[in-house]
Amino acid sequence: MKIIKSIPLMQSISNKAHKPVGLVPTMGSIHKGHIKLINASKKQNTTTIVTLFVNPAQFAENEDFHTYPRNFQKDKKLLSDLGVDILFAPETSQMYPSGFQTSVINDRLSSVLEGEKRPGHFRGVSTIVSKLLNITKPNNAYFGQKDFQQLLIINKLNNDLNHGVQIISIPTVREDDGLALSSRNIHLNQNERKTANKIYASLKHAKSLYLNGEVNADSIIYAVKKYLVKESLIKIEYISIRDKFTFENVSTVTSNSIILIAVYINKTRLIDNLIF
């Protein structure tokens, strides 16, 4: 596995890489969700590039940039063992040199839910993804469905800015009890971890209501809140039901609807979603 930290070198190597090229962007702390993305890329491409960059631009001042889990040596060994061809792990000064002023923003999709609760987050995500697509020039790029709003935004920027990359979404990978895999799960203590499985359970409860005939979005959201308020460790930040294509709010739930949730379990913020 080649390890590259220089943008010019990465550009040179990606131009010469055997096609097709698959890109898996990560912030490190590699888990089974990332591994599923990597394996999909390896299956579908001749060359797989994994990027490892904890992007400061997508963290607000009061968020967990400094405590975000990092273990480069462990990640490096794991990625090598997985058969990744290239690891691109630039320093912040490479990605955001002195005088950097340009950002990418989708005003509509970035103004609600995660965008509203985390101001500037999607500006940072969109900018770094756009840079990574430009630097690595992949044919295919792989993203998980757990960050569903992010996935929509990346699809839109790819189309609007003519990157010409095939964006491939991979279903959320879960623990045996349903908790969506996340690098932030490491922050949960034993009691918090036991409580965390209620997030997915509440989403399954919502889908069960729909499958049994309930189509009123407000009624389903109320039922999910009622399910979760029993858990003293959980603080609900938002629950929303939207069209999975347009991301508009819906009042009537259909098979094209998605329920999205963000909660705090004590100090750890977790998100999840489920398509009806």
Q: Are 135 and 144 in contact (CB under 8 A)?
A: no
- Identify whether 66 is a catalytic site residue: no
Spatial strand order of the sheet with 140-144 comes to 2-4, 86-88, 47-52, 21-26, 140-144, 166-170
- Catalytic choice (18, 31, 34, 66): 34
- Please list the active-site residues: 34
